[in-house]
Structure 1
Amino acid sequence: MKIQNSNHKDIDEIFRLYQIATDFQKTKFSVHWPAFERSLVATEIAENRQWKMILDDTIACVWATTFDDPQIWEERNADPAVYIHRIATHPDFRGNNFVGSIVEWAKQYALENKKKFIRLDTVGDNPGLIAYYTRSGFEFLGLSKLKNTKGLPAHYDNATVSLFQMEITFA
């Protein structure tokens, strides 16, 4: 397994994985991802914030990161954190606990970038995802009603989100 930045050649595969993930979400949850703007992902790629996990010469999983997420994390955004968004797994690789692999990678990434927390959010109150992320080492911080979603992807509009974080200890 190898983790590296995505590049512009990956953009069609990233969107294919997003569509597969959205289709899966529609079978399980009332809230699902909207169609994301290609410009959003292109910017993340250009800024080295879009990631891929390669397994058997295949993009097995993708996700995005940022160091700033004020509309979701509000006053907590002042904390030094890496935020993980839009984890999407290739269907042939589901069940491989890629979140655990992402967590291990993110711990090192956070340390290298002098961040104290790894954070992620999900839209809604989803007991299955809450249990999964807490088993993966995240602390569930509770639900938060978003106040200002202008400019965020459509699934955040008027949403309540589940917030998760993991504190990183420096050696």
Structure 2
Amino acid sequence: MQIINSTMEDIDTIFDLYDAGTAYQKRNATRHWKGFDREMVAREIAGLRQWKILEEGVIVCVFATTFQDPNIWQEKDLDPSLYIHRIATHPDYRGKGYVKQIVAWAKAFAKTNNREYLRLDTGSGNEKLNAYYISCGFNYLGIVRTDSPELPAHYQNATFSLFEIKL
């Protein structure tokens, strides 16, 4: 397994994984992603904030990182943190513990970048996913309501569960 930056050559695969993730969410959750802006993902790739997990040269999972997330984390965004977004795993590779591997990698990456917290959010109400993130070492912090037009569509007028690990 290898975690490296995504490239522009990966963008179609990234969106294929987002589509597969959305289909999975529609079958298994009350909320689902509502699509992402290709230019936003291209900016993440250019900014070295879009990542891929490779298994024998195959992209099996993707995720994005950022050091700021004020629209979701509000005043807590002032804390030096690494935020993980949009984890999407290829359907044939689900259940292989990639989130736990992302967390281990992200802890080291965060420390290298002088971050004190590792954070993520997910749509509230999905108790199975909440329990999974807790099993990955995150502490559940509660729910926040979002409605910023700067966020992707699924964040509009919705509630999200917040999770963090103090490093």
Same-fold call, TM cutoff 0.5:
yes
Query: How far apart are the structure 1 equivalents of 2:29 and 2:134?
Result: 19
Q: What is the TM-score with the length of structure 1 in the denominator? A: 0.96
CA distance in 2 between partners of 1:124 and 1:137 (Å): 18
- Counterpart position of 1:22: 22
Look up the match of 1:11. Answer: 11
Number of residue equivalences: 167
- Aligned partner of 2:157 in structure 1 is 158
1:110-152 Cα shifts (integer Å, max 9, x gaps): 0110000000000122110110000000000011122x41110
Residue in 1 that maps onto 2:110? 110
Q: Distance in 2 between matches of 1:6 and 1:67?
A: 18
CA drift at 1:56? 1.8
Whether contact under 8 Å (1:64, 1:87) holds in the other structure is yes
2:93 alignment counterpart = 93
| Alignment check: 8 A CA contact 1:125 1:143 kept | no
1:120-139 paired onto structure 2 within 5 Å? 120-139=120-139
Gaps in structure 1 of 5+ consecutive residues: none
**Shift of residue 47, structure 1, vs aligned partner:** 0.2
3-state SS of 1:48 partner: coil
- Which whole-Å CA distance do the structure 2 matches of 1:28 and 1:125 have between them? 12
Identity %: 51
CA deviation digits over 1:81-123, x for unaligned, max 9?
0000000001111110101000000010001100000000001
- Residue identity in the other structure for 1:68: Q
How far 1:57 sits from its partner (Å)?
1.2
Provide the TM-score with structure 2 as the length reference: 0.98
Q: Is the 8 A contact 2:30 2:125 kept in 1?
A: no
Q: Compute the displacement of 1:64 (Å).
A: 0.3
- 1:64 and 1:158 map into 2 onto residues whose CA distance is 23
